[in-house]
Amino acid sequence: MRHVAHGRDPLDRPEPPEDSRWQRGFVVDALYLADDVTTMWAEWYRHLAEGGLPPLAQLPRDVWRFRVDAPPVADLRGEPELARVGLTLPSPGRPTWRAFQRIGETLWREGWRGLLAPSAARPNGRILCLFTAAHGPRVAEPIPPRTVVREPPSPPAGMRT
């Protein structure tokens, strides 16, 4: 699952590429997907909280489901897997990103196409970070139709901001 600004191509990427938890944009870009709608909205609310943004300022949103071909992705979805690479469960906040970026960029350099990891905003949810190349093959395709969301959804229970 992924949300984008209403009317935006669900695969568009910002220029220049942005930094996120698992990569720095000047090194490699990435497309982030959530495993379900609850995790997707928890991540959205976390993003809004970090920027001090009101939800209505970021609406409407288009919600897309994606089909993902099975590229080789690193499995970091639990505490044991994270511990093996020297990480703990992610927590919200940009100050925690650098250690995760080092691991993500190392995985990318080793040839991994992405990684599966816990959501920082919803510990029971998972995110899929797919490293993207400007001219590489697409591994994720949006599945129409989109759902247009014009009112803020209820914040998910158990969410961390």
Report the C-alpha dihedral over residues 131, 109, 85, 116, rounded to 10 degrees: 20
What span, in angstroms and rounded, lies between the C-alpha atoms of 77 and 127?
Answer: 9
Q: Which helix (H) or strand (E) holds 118?
A: strand 114-118
What span, in angstroms and rounded, lies between the C-alpha atoms of 100 and 119?
Answer: 12
What span, in angstroms and rounded, lies between the C-alpha atoms of 119 and 86?
Answer: 17
What is the identity of the amino acid at 107?
L
Q: Which residues is 12 bridged to in the sheet? A: none
What span, in angstroms and rounded, lies between the C-alpha atoms of 86 and 70?
Answer: 26
Q: Per-residue pLDDT tens for 51-106?
A: 999 999 999 999 999 999 877 899 999 999 999 999 999 999 999 999 999 999 99
pTM of the model: 0.94
Torsion sign over Cα 81, 83, 88, 94: negative
Give me 154's structure tokens.
């209820």
What span, in angstroms and rounded, lies between the C-alpha atoms of 134 and 113?
Answer: 14
Q: Residue 106, SS3?
A: helix
**Angle subtended at Cα 73 by Cα 69 and Cα 76, rounded to the nearest 5 degrees:** 135
Q: Per-residue pLDDT tens for 95-154?
A: 999 999 999 999 999 999 999 999 999 989 999 999 987 656 678 999 999 999 999 999
DSSP secondary structure letter of residue 85: T
Q: Based on the number of CB atoms within 10 Å of its own CB, is 115 exposed (0-12), middle (13-18) or buried (19 or more)?
A: buried
